[in-house]
Amino acid sequence: MNSLLFQVRSADDVVRLVEDVGFLPFFTNSIPGFSVEECCPRDLWFQEGVDGPWEWKGPIARSGKCVYGKLYGGKAGFVSRAWLPDFANFRRDGYDFDSRYDDGLASRKDKGVFDTVSGHGALLSKELKDLCNYRKGGNKGFDTVITRLQMQTYINVADFVYMKDKFGKVYGWGVAQYSTPEAQFGYDFVTSAYRREPEESKERILSHLKTILPEADMEQLSKLIK
């Protein structure tokens, strides 16, 4: 495990770690030790009556200190608020979504989902599926669309909402609530790195990651943020 990472035992620990390192995948990846999964002891995973990483995702996502979503190879992870502008500039290749669509670089399905989320501010996944007709007999490929929009940083997970039974008892897995980084952090802030070329933002990120992960080679780091 990388010596700069520490063991996390609470949502606050994860937030501090993300703020320290800037980027942190949730799951094990090609860089050993660089994930929430590897930094959190097993006794906090899926234990009855014990909150662990799975339950911490909601509080962390709504903290305003980092962005959460499928950001690393289509899998979940965090990016600190401080690094979000450069990350968005790089991942979006300098495009706002409307410009991307106008240039033929985004599909109608992508636009439908993005416009629906941005128009409502925040939507639970089941609400978004209903509004965009991704229920039985309707559109197909919701997971592909929503993952692509997260990887491009146009949509993020702002919270996880737990359902309650008629007695008020929480049950099941948390339901993702989708939003946009602009809604959560402000348009001017999220786009503040647009003054740089996307390639410059990429190099800034890689240089930072090389500093905190000196044992990783550039191929691993490039693959991580690809």
d(Cα 224, Cα 211) in Å, to the nearest integer? Answer: 15
State the average pLDDT over residues 39-58: 84
Number of domains within the chain: 1
Q: Residue 4 domain-assigned?
A: no
In which band, very low, low, confident or very high, does the pLDDT at 159 lie, cut at 50, 70 and 90?
very high
Domain encompassing residue 43:
11-225
Asked whether the predicted pLDDT for residue 60 surpasses 60, the reply is yes
Q: Are 86 and 41 in contact (CB under 8 A)?
A: no
The confidence band for 3, taking pLDDT boundaries of 50, 70 and 90, is very low
Is residue 155 a part of any domain in this protein?
yes
pLDDT at 16 over 70: yes
pTM for this structure? 0.92
- Assigned domain for 182 exists: yes
State residue 64's pLDDT score.
92
User: Considering the domain boundaries, does residue 179 fall inside one?
Assistant: yes
Higher-confidence residue: 75 or 50? 75
Residue 36 counted as domain residue: yes
Interval 133-158: pLDDT, tens: 998 889 999 999 999 999 999 999 99
Residue 21 lies in a domain: yes
Residue 3 lies in a domain: no
Average pLDDT, the chain: 93
Closest CA to 206 of 193, 190, 217, 196: 217
Q: What is the mean pLDDT of residues 81-109?
A: 97
